[in-house]
């Protein structure tokens, strides 16, 4: 039986192979059979690790999001002297750009008949918890500084954390908006109006 280190190495090899194939051919064009073949393993081994392509996509996105959270944490440490509205806008832009990179994987998840098996309740998954927490912390800091309009922080941070819907990004792309335009207009509509024009002295 393979040990845990071997299983981790196998998972990494599968994910690296899958990501390369997805980048070259698109998620929908790559079969689990092709992934197994390119990885050099049997299909049974692949399916024991990832029962469906949607779960493989979810695992890839989770790993990417874990790296992104580290980048956001580092940014917030470095940028703590910047205006709060600027910091909050920046992390939302980074999240939107990250989502845009995974649109094909998101389409596979959304179209999966087993979506409920691949994802938990939205409000219970780590990305939502992380985003909501960071948004809440920044809004609370702004409130304490007198830079925030009167708001329910719990409601607002939860609303913002769930507002980054992949379906909306698909739709806006179809309308002709670039990722950069979507990120900028999102902040104009959803972030900047939360703040007062001038901080309280």
Residues 44 and 65 in one domain: no
Give this prediction's pTM.
Answer: 0.74
3 state DSSP class of 112:
coil
Read off the pLDDT of each residue in 129-142 and give the average, rounded to a whole number: 94
- What are the tens digits of pLDDT across the range 31-84? 999 999 999 999 999 998 888 887 888 788 788 888 889 999 999 999 999 999
Instruction: Give start and end residues of each alpha helix (H) in 26-123.
Output: 32-39, 43-49, 53-78, 84-101, 103-111, 115-118
Backbone torsions φ then ψ of 16, nearest 5 degrees: -65, -40
Residue 40: give the domain boundaries.
1-50
Read off the pLDDT of each residue in 88-117 and give the average, rounded to a whole number: 68
Question: Does residue 135 lie within any of the structural domains?
Answer: yes
The rounded radius of gyration (Å) of the Cα atoms in the chain is 20
Residues 26 and 78 in one domain: no
Residues 118 and 183 in one domain: yes
How many C-beta neighbours within 10 Å does residue 95 have? 22
Residues 13 and 99 in one domain: no
Q: What angle do CA 153, 155, 161 make, to 5 degrees?
A: 95
Residue that has been written with the tokens 């994910």 in this structure = 15
Residues 2 and 60 in one domain: no
- What are the tens digits of pLDDT across the range 166-189? 778 888 989 999 989 999 999 999
Residues 120 and 140 in one domain: yes
Q: Which two tokens stand for residue 117?
A: 């098996």
Which residues are within 8 A (CB) of 133 and not within 5 positions of it... i.e. 6 or more apart?
157
Residues 43 and 71 in one domain: no
How many C-beta neighbours within 10 Å does residue 39 have? 18
Residues 184 and 105 in one domain: yes
Residues 82 and 178 in one domain: yes
Q: Is the dihedral of CA 178, 180, 186, 188 positive or negative?
A: negative
Residue among 160, 78, 104 nearest 127 (CA): 160
Question: Does residue 113 lie within any of the structural domains?
Answer: yes
Q: Specify the number of domains making up the chain.
A: 2
């Amino acid at each position: 039986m393979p040990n845990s280190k071997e299983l981790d190495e196998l998972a990494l090899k599968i994910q690296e192979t899958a990501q390369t194939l997805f980048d070259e051919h698109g998620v929908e064009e790559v079969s689990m059979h092709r992934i197994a073949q390119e990885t050099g393993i049997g299909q049974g081994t692949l399916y024991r690790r990832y029962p469906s392509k949607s779960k493989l996509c979810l695992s890839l996105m989770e790993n990417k999001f874990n790296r992104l959270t580290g980048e956001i944490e580092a940014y917030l440490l470095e940028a703590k002297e910047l205006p709060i509205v600027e910091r909050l806008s920046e992390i939302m832009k980074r999240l939107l750009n990250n989502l845009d990179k995974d649109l094909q994987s998101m389409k596979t998840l959304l179209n999966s008949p087993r979506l409920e098996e691949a994802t938990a309740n939205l409000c219970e998954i780590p990305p939502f918890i992380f985003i909501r927490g960071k948004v809440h912390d920044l809004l609370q800091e702004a409130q304490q500084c007198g830079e925030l309009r009167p708001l329910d922080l719990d409601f607002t941070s939860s609303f913002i954390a769930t507002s980054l819907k992949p379906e909306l990004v698909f739709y806006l792309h179809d309308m002709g908006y670039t990722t950069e335009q979507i990120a900028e207009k999102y902040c104009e509509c959803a972030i900047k109006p939360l703040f007062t024009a001038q901080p309280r002295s």
